[in-house]
Amino acid sequence: MSRRTGKSQAAFERAQAVLVGGVNSPVRAFAAVGGQPAVIAEARGAYVTDLDGNRYIDYVGGYGPAILGHAHPAVVQAITEAVGRGTCPGAPTEAETHLAELICAAFPSVTKLRMTSSGTEAVMSAVRLARGATGRRRIVKCIGCYHGHADALLVSAGSGAAALAAASSAGVPPAAVADTLVVPYNDLGAMERAFDQFAGEIAAVLVEPVAANMGVVPPAAGYLAGLRGLCDRHGALLIFDEVITGFRIARGGAQELYGVRADITAFGKIIGGGLPAGAFGASGEIMAHLAPEGPVYQAGTLSGNPAVTAAGLATLKALQADGFYHRLEQTSGDLERGLRQAAAAAGLEGQVCLNRVGSLLCCFFAPPPVVDFATASAGDAGAFAAYFQAMLEAGIFLAPSPFEAMFVSAAHARAEVQRTVEAAAGAFQRAGRLMESSGRCR
């Protein structure tokens, strides 16, 4: 309505000529919601500002890293100082050890670590390590969990034999996914059947302990402990992909929150403080299979890069402030309650499902409960698009997909939550009118 878009539109048109779809990662495109992305000039604290000067309260959070808010002064300073000392020594630095010590201290299951430059690499390498350590080939993943874009993990449920996966991307040959099994999230029975069917062949179960790439779907009571038990019984390793949840839902991630230990943990996002980073870690015994100590090869020219390491260290240190996670939980809880009331006031009780774990939130335009990919996919895409556009107009920046989380940061305060809830009141009404006219409301 009043939002100016001329400069963003011109910049995005120019981008489309030289970048595929105008973006460097497909999640940033507006394919699911229509229209064009705002092109961002600056991100600071809880806000992003676009080229036209529109300022939004940000819940994209860089898709996870920005737990302190954007351009946090301590992180900016740490990066600036590190850059001045050279960003690519090609030899060990002390800061790498300091960062690894902080991560190991937060995750008791992790005594040794290897840094990478992305979450994709971390998970891909964790899978290779699990295969090398067990001498087995097959891995099981859950439908709707995202683990980066490595070939073997770009799969969906195949047809035919239970649990056998099909490639979900063009360019992935059948052989690359032949050893990947898929089962629904939160379905221990399906996981048990996969173990029975492929007895002695499964190297690892790979899971997002809180699924946060199909919206936000918490683990059912006992699910993670059940996975732990199955892996132990069958001699398989349990890999938690904590790329989003690590240092997000608790300092010690899902392992702290739910009291279940993984064998191998993958990290990313927050540990890089907004610069490109990932890591995977496990016990010294498992990690001893990794080069240079063991035969599982893994490497990276920019792994443990000083600028990245400095940003990660500054971020993890800021998270050690007294009561940090308690405050984040309070803000996130306030936001959840406000959104719930706004949805109810718009007559959408029973039509939308709000899921939250800590500072990860999601509003599905689907009847509750949303417990897996099937129930998440039952959402009304048109209603989400209407909600998204109304929020954007009102100055609230959400990820342009119903399958992304809202990320709350420490920079979000009472005022931001209040403005978000006020905007949501109108946005839910707009979405509700659409659902009514399409006959989805009962």
Ligand X SMILES: *Cc1c(COP(=O)(O)O)cnc(C)c1O
- The catalytic residue positions are 146, 241, 269
Using CB under 6 A, which of the segments 73-81, 136-144, 237-245, 291-299 binds ligand X? 237-245
CA 103 → CA 77, 114, 157, 236, 338, distances in Å? 21, 11, 34, 24, 34
Q: Taking contact as CB under 6 A, which single stretch among the options 13-21, 238-246, 291-299, 413-421 is the one that binds ligand X?
A: 238-246
Q: Does 265 interact with ligand X (rule: CB under 6 A)? A: no
- The single residue among 8, 54, 109, 120 that binds ligand X, judged by CB under 6 A, is 120
**Residue from 78, 123, 207, 399 binding ligand X (CB under 6 A):** 123
Query: Is residue 305 involved in binding ligand X (CB under 6 A)?
Result: no
**Residue reference for tokens 């790439």:** 213
Please name the residues in contact with 1: beta carbons below 8 A apart, sequence gap of 6 or more.
393
Distances (CA, A) of 243 to 79, 162, 263, 279, 391: 21, 28, 15, 9, 27
The answer to whether 401 contacts ligand X (rule: CB under 6 A) is: no
Q: Is 148 in the site for ligand X (CB under 6 A)?
A: yes
Q: Which token pair is 164?
A: 């056998």
Using the minimum distance from each CB to ligand X, give the nearer residue, 380 or 404. Answer: 404
Q: Cβ of 418: how many Cβ atoms within 10 Å?
A: 13
* Minimum distance, C-beta of residue 419 to ligand X, in the bound complex (Å): 27
Residues 50-109, interacting with ligand X (CB under 6 A): none
Q: Taking each helix axis from N to C terminus, what angle separates 306-318 and 73-84, rounded to the nearest 10 degrees?
A: 150
Strand ranges, E, within 329-433: 353-357, 360-364, 396-397, 406-407
DSSP state of 235: T
How do strand 360-364 and strand 396-397 relate by DSSP bridges?
Answer: unpaired
Q: Which is nearer to ligand X, 51 or 154 (CB)?
A: 154
Cα angle for residues 129, 133, 139 (degrees, 5° grid) = 65
Q: Does 404 bind ligand X (CB under 6 A)?
A: no
Residue with tokens 């979900």: 168
Task: Kindly tell me which residue out of 208, 256, 336, 416 binds ligand X, with binding defined by CB under 6 A.
Answer: 208
143 binding ligand X? (CB under 6 A): no
- 139 binds ligand X per the rule CB under 6 A: no
Instruction: Compose the 164-203 pattern: x for residues touching ligand X by CB under 6 A, - for all others.
Output: ----------------------------------------
Residue with smaller CB distance to ligand X, 153 or 318? 153
Which residue spans within 259-375 are E strands per DSSP? 264-268, 278-282, 353-357, 360-364
Place of tokens 């670590």: 113
Residue 244 interacts with ligand X (CB under 6 A)?
Answer: yes
Q: Are 104 and 287 a contacting pair, CB within 8 Å?
A: no
Tell me the per-residue interface mask from 269 to 288 with ligand X, x by CB under 6 A, - otherwise. ---------x----------
Contacts of 255 (CB under 8 A, 6+ apart): 107, 108, 109, 209, 240, 242, 261, 262, 265
Q: Could you say whether residue 359 binds ligand X (CB under 6 A)?
A: no
Among 180, 213, 305, 389, binds ligand X (CB under 6 A): 213
* Least distance from ligand X to the Cβ atom of residue 127, Å: 12
At which residue do the structure tokens 């990947």 appear?
180
For every residue of 167-208, DSSP letters joined together read ESSTT--HHHHTTEEEEETT-HHHHHHHHHHTTTTEEEEEE-
Task: Verify binding: residue 119, ligand X, rule CB under 6 A.
Answer: yes
Q: Is residue 141 at the binding interface for ligand X, with CB under 6 A as the rule?
A: no
CB closer to ligand X out of 376 and 431: 376
114, 131, 136, 147: which one binds ligand X (CB under 6 A): 147
Stretch that binds ligand X, among 94-102, 116-124, 191-199, 216-224 (CB under 6 A): 116-124
219 interacts with ligand X by CB under 6 A: no
Residue numbers at the binding site for ligand X (CB under 6 A): 118-120, 123, 146-148, 208, 213, 241, 243-244, 268, 278
